Amino acid sequence: MQPNSIELFDTSLRDGGQTAGIHFSTEDKVRIANRLAEFGIPWIEGGWPGASPKDDAFFERMRERCWQRSKLVAFGSTARPGGTVADDAGLHLLLESGADALCIFGKAWRRHVTEALAISMEANLELIRRSVALLAARTPVVMFDAEHFFDGYRADADYALQVLRAAVEGGASRLILCDTNGGSLPQEIVTITRAVCAAFPDRIIGIHAHNDSELAVANSLMAVEGGARHIQGTVNGIGERCGNANLISIIANLALKTDYDCGISREQLAQLAPLSRFVNEMANRLPWQHQPFVGRNAFAHKGGIHVSAIRKSSALYEHIDPALVGNSQRILVSDQAGKSNVISKLAAMTIDTGLDADRPEAVNRVVQRIKQMEAQGFAYEGADGSFKLLLLKAGGKFVSHFELDGFRVIDQKQGHEGESQAEATVRVRVGAAKAHTASLGIGPIHAIDNALRLALGRFYPQLEAMRLIDFKVRVLSTREATRAGVRVLIESSDGSHNWGTVGVGCDVIDASYQALRDAIEYKLNIDAVPCA
């Protein structure tokens, strides 16, 4: 192993699977493991054989893997106290798992030895030594996770080092220092890791950090500075309690900001954002929009001064080129916007808005209009569709495809447990023609949406491909209680691209109608559909 090489070890399927609210199926685990291997993670920990039928099924499925560079790791513990190591069922399940390498944990904090295991200090060392030796005799790579190592080292450094020595005597090739409670500080990590590396120069030292103090990534990087050459973590930092060290951020920092080689090429690095999204999808988890490097807002700019600067050079307000990690720059429009925000948006648009970026008075009018609308509660950060309609209107290029004469909604419910039923009646005009339709729906918004489509469908068949895919309601002020105004954000899709629209009002149905109307008008204007 080269002096500046760093091994990456992913434990998303095991430690990450312990996240509250995440429940990976066997199929989920297989798909994630294969995606990690495709990305190029060297060590992929699949789970604990014997811990659950799901983990057993996973390892059975993975016997058919065809990975070129990645190795599958099975996780477990040292032998249970009170029995013989040679007959320990857990160790034999590890050996029978079909994994390329094994990783077991043992106690490195004397308090855990005496209180949790309730055995003597020497007995713990013997369990570790013999357990590792049993596995190392039949497996080429055995890693030892020294659980609670940093807490143990602070309490009794000599004993914590004895634990590592016992693992080395058993044949462990890698010693992983675990900040299991996530309470260590970076300066402690680097000092202790440096001491361990000096004590075991012939072994690869690793770090396994938890994020309870929001320092797991920093602690992992500081461990590298202290001599660690193996990093364990999870995609997106998932894991029990506050999570594990986030491999996404660790990889990006190592690859782009240090001289260490974590084995990830520039081509692989550009897949970081897609990998992050994929694991979130498998976990049925909404992505963190502000996640460093890969979040949707990681390179989003809202302040006018910032936007003005990045139009000259993006490096003025961006620490890396977002494309390096598969992300992209976003220019937001809000009441903090300036001309630069609008000009940047105009430059990115593929339709003719009728606005000229070289005419500052026109751009200034748009900026003032945005600020007036946001003062009423409108927000365009997640409503690009409504914002583009605003630009089309300002430039005189907006085409109105229908007018509303009126709508009525009846929502009925019988009994506490009875299901509600909504019916909407809509009257619209399209040119000289009129349409009067009614439709049922699951709730009033769905009913209005159905009735609008029914009324407009015969004039604009393009709307058949359009679907509402997300709907959010935000109360603007809690002081008014149930009389408070609301902001409704709708995301729509036609299968080719998505767009957001916004509506605001004290009536949630009216606000929803505004967003629905914008969604329909955006689709027809962007497709350049002439008014019927």
Tokens of 2: 């080269």
Residues 241 and 210: beta-carbon distance below 8 Å: yes
With beta carbons less than 8 A apart as the criterion, state whether 419 and 434 touch. Answer: no
Q: What is the pLDDT of residues 133-190, one digit of tens each?
A: 999 999 999 999 999 999 999 999 999 999 999 999 999 999 999 999 999 999 999 9
Q: Which two tokens stand for residue 19?
A: 């996240």
360-375 vs 339-348: helix crossing angle, rounded to 10: 110
What pLDDT band is residue 346 in, cutting at 50, 70 and 90? low
Q: For residue 343, what pLDDT is reported? A: 64
Name which of 123-127, 291-295, 299-303, 489-493 the model is least confident about.
299-303
Single out the residue of 447, 422, 424 nearest to residue 436, CA to CA.
424
- CB distance 486 to 476 below 8 Å: yes
Domain boundaries, the chain: 7-264, 300-370, 402-459
Return the closest-CA partner of residue 402 out of 423, 429, 424, 379: 429
Q: For residue 402, is pLDDT > 90?
A: yes
Q: Determine the length of the chain.
A: 532
- Banded pLDDT at 347 (limits 50, 70, 90): low
With a cut of 70, say whether residue 338 has pLDDT above it.
no
DSSP per-residue letters across 390-413:
HHHHHTT------EEEEEEEEEE-
The pLDDT of residue 340 is 58
Q: What are phi and psi of 211, to 5 degrees?
A: -105, 25
83 or 438: whose pLDDT is higher?
438
pLDDT at 273 over 60: yes
Q: Both tokens of residue 461?
A: 């068949």
Q: Which two tokens stand for residue 110?
A: 């004397």
pTM, two decimals, is 0.72
For the cut 60, the answer to whether the pLDDT of residue 315 exceeds it is: yes
Distance CA(448)–CA(443), nearest Å, equals: 9
pLDDT band of 367, cuts 50, 70, 90: confident
Higher pLDDT, 304 or 293: 293
Sequence-distant (≥ 6) Cβ neighbours of residue 108 within 8 angstroms = 146, 147, 148, 149, 152, 153, 159, 160, 163, 164, 178
Average pLDDT over residues 193-213: 98
Residue 348 has pLDDT above 80, yes or no: no
Higher pLDDT, 31 or 237: 237
Per the DSSP assignment, residues forming a β-bridge with 101 are: 73
∠ at Cα 109 (140, 234), nearest 5°?
55
The region, left, alpha or beta by phi > 0 then psi within -120 to 50, assigned to residue 313 is beta
Percent of the chain scoring above 70 in pLDDT: 94
Q: What is the average pLDDT score of the chain? A: 91
CATH of domain 7-264: 3.20.20.70
What is the residue whose two structure tokens read 């996404």?
248
Q: Which two tokens stand for residue 428?
A: 């619209």
CB of 113 within 8 A of CB of 103? no
Nearest to 80 by CA among 48, 124, 45: 124
- Map 503-523 to HEC letters: EEECCHHHHHHHHHHHHHHHH
Mean pLDDT of 508-531: 93
Q: Does residue 232 carry a pLDDT above 60? A: yes
Q: What's the mean pLDDT in 96-125? A: 97
pLDDT, average across residues 42-54: 96
Q: Looking at residue 384, what is its pLDDT? A: 84
Taking residues 525-532, report their average pLDDT.
86
386-398: b (≥16 Cβ within 10 Å) or e: bbbbbbbbbbeeb
Place of tokens 């606005």: 355
531 secondary structure, DSSP code: P
Model confidence band, residue 351 (pLDDT cutoffs 50, 70, 90): low
Strand 433-441, strand 71-77: pairing: unpaired
Return the pLDDT at 481: 67
- In the prediction, which pLDDT does 310 show? 77
Give the span between the Cα atoms of 159 and 152, in whole angstroms. Answer: 8
Residue 362, exposed/middle/buried by CB under 10 A (0-12, 13-18, 19+)?
Answer: middle
CB 346 within 8 A of CB 339: no
Highest-confidence range of 96-105, 287-296, 380-389, 485-494, by mean pLDDT? 96-105
Separation in Å, CA 335 to CA 66, 298, 338, 371, 472: 53, 20, 8, 5, 21
Return phi, psi of residue 168, to 5°: -65, -40
The residue type at 521: E
The pLDDT value given to residue 498: 86
